Amino acid sequence: MTINKGVLSVNFELLRGHFEHKFRYQNGNFELIGFSSVNSDGQGVMTTTDFNLSTGIRIEKSERYDTDKVLSNRRKKILIRPLPKLQDITPMENELY
């Protein structure tokens, strides 16, 4: 866990990757404002996800790490309102964050 410029970051390490939840104290609660993850399937494909919950922009990119060939690059807007609160989140409980 780190706090930088008013943002609480909670990092989790995995065997083949990691993920991070970012919270800001606003509206009387620590609200989730960002989620990012990087993971590997163990067979040469790495998937990176960056979700800015404040703007609703979610980017997911898959690429081969042996050749750097991009397999997919998706960008979509998903607005979640109200923003999830720290006390209500279980990490990786859904496909969005």
Domain positions in the chain are 2-88
Structure letter (DSSP) for residue 84: P
92, pLDDT greater than 90: no
Amino acid 34: pLDDT:
98
Amino acid 94: pLDDT:
83
Amino acid 55: pLDDT:
98
How many other CB atoms are found less than 10 A from the CB of residue 54? 16
18, pLDDT greater than 90: yes
| Order of all β-strands in the sheet with 70-77 | 2-4, 7-14, 17-26, 29-40, 45-52, 57-64, 70-77
Q: Which amino acid is at 59?
A: I
Residues 69, 76: Cα–Cα separation, whole Å: 21
